[in-house]
Structure 1
Amino acid sequence: MTASAVGRGRVTQGRVSALLRYQLSLLLRSQRWLPPVLFYALLLVAGWFGGQQYGDSLGWCAGMLVPVCAWLTRTATSAEPDAARSVVAAAVGARTARGAMLAVALGCGLLLGAVGGAFEVATSSAPIGPHAPIATIVQDGLVAVLVGVLAGTALGALPIRGRAAGALALTAGSLGLLVLAGSPVNAAVRQTFTSGQLYAVTSLPWLALVEAVALLAVCAVVAVRAESS
């Protein structure tokens, strides 16, 4: 690798880092992240009961992350003023700018998932009677939490115009991901709810995780392409 190629790589890396910091600062300064974060905290408290079992509490956390991460992603991708968006798009490209927004939203969603998962683990208890190993139950639950973050971010990334249409799409999409049998979120949460049973199949919801990653990748590509069209 030549010195010029190394130099170009460092310049590109520096631009990407600066763009991520810029998008994150926009989101934080706008304070529009507060409503979804407070909503998430309210949902965690509403689903918390003394002595709740690990599988139930982590499954609840995973499911609630879907609408929260969808809302947060929608907020992150609309926090930039139109004039600033045009300037950034001219400087780095519309697709790169949109990709940075989604990366920031995903990072924030992962942080929420980590905090929520840690809260549920710290405040939950083991199932009563014979049950699967605690480590296995917690592993299933944490994978389900990750599935919820990925699926929620994918939903929020969809380029839907209009505030009312966006809110309706997020609500309907969240419900669909939670209740439809073919949804990766539904599969992961159902397995988490039953992971405490003695003879439960606790092989980790890997298939649901792969499906959630694929869903996020597809929605991100659609969003990035729509930004420059």
Structure 2
Amino acid sequence: MSRQVLRYYAALALRSQRRLPPLLCCAFLLLAGRVGGQQYGDSLGWCAAVLVPVCGWLTRAVLSAEPEAAAAVVAAAAGARAARAAALAVGLGGGLVLGAAGAAFEVAASSAPVGPHAPIGTVVADGLVAVLVGVLAGTAVGALPVRGRAAGTLTLTALSLGLLVASVSPVNAAVRQTFTSSRTDAAASLPWLALLEACALLVLCGAAAVRVERC
């Protein structure tokens, strides 16, 4: 994957107006989730949950932002799979930036747990790992090669909800852990398994994405 192709897709994503709806949706949901006296664990868990559909939306917007003619030229010059991998990398990078901004906002706007609780560093670390899980899982869902805007939107919505509510989902596990991370018995409970599962999910969905021409 060449730097020129990565720069091309990064510039394309920055110029495209398709990135604006997911960014505005993320800002709205983070602000809507603010309530008085919210603690680190609750805030970061909410941020992680929000990032699943938002990063999926953002990734799909990046993957579909390129005109057909331009896509054909880039595929001929760099290879179709390399071009798709570069676009997916840009989508992931955008999700990571969005996750970092959202986590920073939640930490700045929240307070420490009240009463007996696990160390603050552990509480925040739980939340940051959960945020990363949300970014990876959301990017994976957005990378799935579903053709058609309506079908893509329906698939993204259904899978995002599934990842949030299914008990076997790494996102569900990470968010639940973050919500309870302020308990005194949660001192060494970083959701590393959920992070590994989210990485595996992204690898599988990313591999499927680079094997098709366009979504």
Name the TM-score class by shorter chain.
over 0.9
Matched, 1:108 2:94: yes
The residue matched to 1:227 in structure 2 has which SS? coil
The one-letter amino acid paired with 1:199 is: D
Match of 1:213 in 2: 199
In the TM superposition, residue 203 of structure 1 has moved relative to its aligned partner by: 2.3
Matched, 1:177 2:177: no
Report the count of equivalent residues.
214
Matched, 1:118 2:104: yes
What is the rounded CA distance, in whole Å, between the counterparts of 2:2 and 2:188 in structure 1?
Answer: 40
What is the rounded CA distance, in whole Å, between the counterparts of 2:120 and 2:11 in structure 1?
Answer: 39
- State whether residues 154 and 219 of structure 1, in contact with CA within 8 Å, keep that contact through their aligned partners in structure 2: yes
Matched, 1:85 2:71: yes
What is the rounded CA distance, in whole Å, between the counterparts of 2:180 and 2:189 in structure 1?
Answer: 12
Match of 2:181 in 1: 195
Q: How does 1:13-162 map to 2 (within 5 A)?
A: 16-162=2-148
- State whether residues 118 and 187 of structure 2, in contact with CA within 8 Å, keep that contact through their aligned partners in structure 1: no
| TM superposition score normalised by structure 2 | 0.97
What is the rounded CA distance, in whole Å, between the counterparts of 1:95 and 1:199 in structure 2?
Answer: 47
Structure 1 runs (4+) deviating above 4 angstroms are none
What is the rounded CA distance, in whole Å, between the counterparts of 2:132 and 2:213 in structure 1?
Answer: 27
Match of 1:167 in 2: 153
Match of 1:6 in 2: none
**Structure 2, gaps ≥5 residues long:** none
Match of 1:225 in 2: 211
- State whether residues 132 and 200 of structure 1, in contact with CA within 8 Å, keep that contact through their aligned partners in structure 2: yes
What is the rounded CA distance, in whole Å, between the counterparts of 1:71 and 1:100 in structure 2?
Answer: 17
Q: After superposition, what is the alpha-carbon deviation per residue over 1:53-90, rounded to whole angstroms, capped at 9, x for unaligned?
A: 11000000000000000000000000000000001101
Deviates more, 1:154-163 or 1:46-55: 46-55
Output the aligned Cα RMSD: 1.1
What is the rounded CA distance, in whole Å, between the counterparts of 1:89 and 1:158 in structure 2?
Answer: 19
Q: After superposition, what is the alpha-carbon deviation per residue over 1:93-113, rounded to whole angstroms, capped at 9, x for unaligned?
A: 100000000000000000000
**Percent identity (aligned):** 71
What is the rounded CA distance, in whole Å, between the counterparts of 1:16 and 1:78 in structure 2?
Answer: 20
What is the rounded CA distance, in whole Å, between the counterparts of 2:208 and 2:137 in structure 1?
Answer: 15
The one-letter amino acid paired with 2:199 is: V
The one-letter amino acid paired with 1:37 is: L
In the TM superposition, residue 28 of structure 1 has moved relative to its aligned partner by: 1.3
Deviates more, 1:215-224 or 1:196-205: 196-205
| TM superposition score normalised by structure 1 | 0.91
- Which of the two has higher C-alpha Rg? 1
- State whether residues 122 and 187 of structure 2, in contact with CA within 8 Å, keep that contact through their aligned partners in structure 1: no
In the TM superposition, residue 37 of structure 1 has moved relative to its aligned partner by: 0.2
